[in-house]
Structure 1
Amino acid sequence: MKHLAILGAGGHGRVVAESAAATGWRISFFDDARTGRVDGHLVAGSASDLKGAATGYDGILVAIGTNRTRLNWIKCLRSSGATIVTVIDPSSKVSASAVVGAGTYLASGSMVGTGARLGEGCIVNTAATVDHDCDLADGVHLSPGVHLSGNVTIGEASWLGTGCSVRNDIVIGRDVVAGVGSAIVSDVANDQTVVGVPARPMGRL
């Protein structure tokens, strides 16, 4: 059985572990705040311990919700010789023509459509959908129930809150935050926080 190290044993890490175990991985956690066992899986050490042990695992998945932190850890661990892997829950649906980058997690009930491209270290959370020909840069996080229509482009490290919906052909910049339930029907510039129906930048509601 292949051995997966998961960096982060909090809520997101535990969800990742369930999906990984269901696809045949043996799990060990690394976490700065927890010891012993979490959901039956050994906490083998701290985050810094994993840097020294990276080559001892068949794969590593960084299960940290903060997008830039997740990307930084992927870069750090890869430089230590780690094999960064993708975890795809057995219940998710991924088109044969989609491209999913290393370190990305696809959660239960998620869908990635025809011709979609996902970068490294993305999270497509529970029941989120990515329709045809969408392009997600590294570190994008789609929270539960987010729905992207076709041909949506999202820049690096952007985060869409639970239940967001995005119209087709929209371009969302890097480091964008979209509030829970937002309906994005026009392009969003870099570093914006948008909320509402339709979504507008904070301070301009």
Structure 2
Amino acid sequence: MYLYGASGHGKVIAEIAEENNIAINAFIDQNVLKTEFLEYKVLHGIPDMDADFIISIGNNFTRKKIADSNPTLNFMKLFHPRSIISKKCVINVGTVVMGGVTINPESKIGRHCIINTNSSIDHDCIIEDFVHISPNAALAGDVKVGEGTHIGIGANIIQGIRIGKWCTIGAGAVIIKDVPDGATVVGNPGRIIKIKNNY
């Protein structure tokens, strides 16, 4: 397996692979000054199109750009052995689930998502592609999160909420109303502080 992105997020994903006894061939990174990372070799191009890959980059837009630019790569999914994942949920390729996460029945997780440490996704949630659910964030049942959205650390989202595409939910925010595409929301209760149209 190759990890695409030799940075801090890559450290966490590498350890998950090691915990699962999955061999890491090398990291891939565009920074030509990086030649070694976590004692693994760093390459600056894709050496084997038939290998397995994970994009180990935290930025949602960058993950989407890499995935869209490499549609034929065999992206895998990776789960920390100390996560709790219902057998009745669906998780798509490229997604990584960190330690302490709970994902409950009938939830659907899209492609290339990050479900980060100790976060909780309850029943019947829909998480679209390229979403990042940060550590200790909690989603109640039947929450929908649109493509590319970043749910900040420790945020709480009540049941039935719809959050649009490419939103930013601030750290510790409490979301009790639906959120439109491109919105940045902070506070308790959550309030919109800006909306970007070019996401």
**Taking structure 2 as the reference length, what is the TM-score of the superposition?**
0.93
1:68 to 51, 61, 77: 61
Say whether the 8 Å CA contact 1:54–1:77 is kept in structure 2: no
Unaligned runs of 5+ in 1: none
Say whether the 8 Å CA contact 1:146–1:164 is kept in structure 2: yes
How far apart are 1:96 and its partner, in Å?
A: 0.2
Say whether the 8 Å CA contact 2:184–2:194 is kept in structure 1: no
1:127-138 mapped onto 2 (5 Å cutoff) = 127-138=118-129
Unaligned runs of 5+ in 2: none
Say whether the 8 Å CA contact 2:79–2:98 is kept in structure 1: yes
2: distance between equivalents of 1:118 and 1:138? 8
1:158 to 131, 146, 149: 149
How far apart are 1:54 and its partner, in Å?
A: 4.0
1:196 aligns with 2:196: no
Q: Please state whether the residue corresponding to 2:188 is helix, strand or coil.
A: coil
Any idea what the Cα deviations from partners look like across 1:18-62, whole Å, max 9, x if unmatched?
Answer: 00111111111011235332222221x12xx12xx24242x1000
How far apart are 1:77 and its partner, in Å?
A: 2.1
Q: Which amino acid aligns with 1:55?
A: M
Aligned identity (percent) is 31
2: distance between equivalents of 1:203 and 1:71? 23
Give the helix-richer structure, 1 or 2: 1
Aligned partner of 2:173 in structure 1 is: 182
2:49 to 44, 47, 55: 55
Say whether the 8 Å CA contact 2:50–2:74 is kept in structure 1: no
1:94 to 79, 85, 90: 85
1:121 aligns with 2:117: no
Aligned length: 193
2:7 to 10, 27, 35: 10
2:27 to 26, 29, 33: 29
Q: Which amino acid aligns with 1:37?
A: E
1:103-122 mapped onto 2 (5 Å cutoff) = 103-122=94-113
Give the alignment's Cα RMSD to 1 decimal: 1.4
Any idea what the Cα deviations from partners look like across 1:101-153, whole Å, max 9, x if unmatched?
Answer: 10001011111110000000100000011100000000110011110000000
Q: Please state whether the residue corresponding to 2:41 is helix, strand or coil.
A: strand
Aligned partner of 1:20 in structure 2 is: 17
1:140 to 131, 137, 148: 131
2: distance between equivalents of 1:93 and 1:9? 27
Q: Which amino acid aligns with 2:57?
A: I
**Taking structure 1 as the reference length, what is the TM-score of the superposition?**
0.90
1: distance between equivalents of 2:126 and 2:194? 28
